[in-house]
Chains A and B, each alone.
Chain A
Amino acid sequence: QQKVQQSPESLTVSEGAMASLNCTFSDGTSNNFRWYRQHSAKGLEVLVSIFSDGEKEEGRFTAHLNRANLHVSLHIREPQPSDSAVYLCAVSMRPGGYKVVFGSGTRLLVSP
C-alpha cells in the first residue's frame, strides 16, 4: 500500500525567502507526481506535475523528483503572503485504473 509522507507539517517563511517542502513515497513504481495547493474552503489547485527524475519548473514553483530516493520536493521562489495555504503532495500509479494517494500536507505561512 502506497504511503506518502510530507515534511515539515508546518512552515513559516518570510516574504521573498525560498520555501522548500518535502515528500517521500513508498512505492518506487509510482510514475506520476503532483503538488497541489489548497486555500481554506477551496478546491485543489495543481501547481506542478512531474513524471521523470530531475526538475520541472512552473513559474515560481519547481519540483525535484528522485525516484531512487523515493523523494519529491517543491521549492517556491519569492513566496508571497497569498501563497499561504496547505500544500499537498500526490503520488499516482496505475494498477488498472489510476490511483492517487495524497500526503497529509504542509501548512505554509508566508509572513510579510
Chain B
Amino acid sequence: DTTVKQNPRYKLARVGKPVNLICSQTMNHDTMYWYQKKPNQAPKLLLFYYDKILNREADTFEKFQSSRPNNSFCSLYIGSAGLEYSAMYLCASSATGTANTEVFFGKGTRLTVV
C-alpha cells in the first residue's frame, strides 16, 4: 500500500481553538512532512520528521507543532487557530535510502477557520 492517509479530509475550526490533523503511512518511510497550501501559492513546507528528529522551518517555527509517536503516524497541531490558518494541509512521506527516492503525498486536509 503506497498511500498516505490523512484525516479528516475537511476540518472546520473556530478562531482561538486548537486543531489536530493526522497522517499515516505503512511504507516504513523514515521521513514525514507537512505542507500548507493556499490557493495560487506553492505548497509551503512547515516541518518534517526525519526518523524521530523534528525539523521546523524558521518562519513557521512558533505556529505549528508536530508529534510522531511511531514510524507510521505524524500529527500537525495548531494550538490556537487564526483565520490565516485556513488552507489545505498536505502530508507526505519518503524513504531517504537513495537520492532517487519517491515522495508520496496524501490527499490533504482542507482546514477552514471561522
**Is there an interface contact between A44 and B99, defined as CB atoms closer than 8 Å?**
no
Chain A contact-residue range equals 20 to 34
In the bound complex, residues from chain B placing their C-beta under 8 Å from that of A44 are 43, 90, 105
**Is there an interface contact between A51 and B99, defined as CB atoms closer than 8 Å?**
yes
With A32-B100, A104-B42: A43-B90 Cβ-Cβ less than 8 Å: yes
Within 8 A of B (CB), among A78-112: 88, 90, 92, 94, 96-105
Q: Which of A41, A90, A97, A99 lies at the interface centre, i.e. has the most chain B CB atoms within 10 A of its CB?
A: A97
A27 to chain B, nearest CB (A): 14
**Is there an interface contact between A102 and B53, defined as CB atoms closer than 8 Å?**
no
Residue total for B at the interface (Cβ-Cβ under 8 A): 27
In the bound complex, residues from chain B placing their C-beta under 8 Å from that of A101 are 45
A61 to B93, CA, bound (A): 24
**Is there an interface contact between B31 and A97, defined as CB atoms closer than 8 Å?**
yes
Q: Is the interface of B mostly helix, strand, loop or mixed?
A: strand
Contact of B102 among A31, A46, A97, A105 (CB under 8 A): A46
**Is there an interface contact between A97 and B48, defined as CB atoms closer than 8 Å?**
yes
**Is there an interface contact between A104 and B41, defined as CB atoms closer than 8 Å?**
yes
In the bound complex, residues from chain A placing their C-beta under 8 Å from that of B42 are 4, 88, 102-105
**Is there an interface contact between B92 and A100, defined as CB atoms closer than 8 Å?**
yes
**Is there an interface contact between B94 and A43, defined as CB atoms closer than 8 Å?**
no
In the bound complex, residues from chain B placing their C-beta under 8 Å from that of A103 are 42
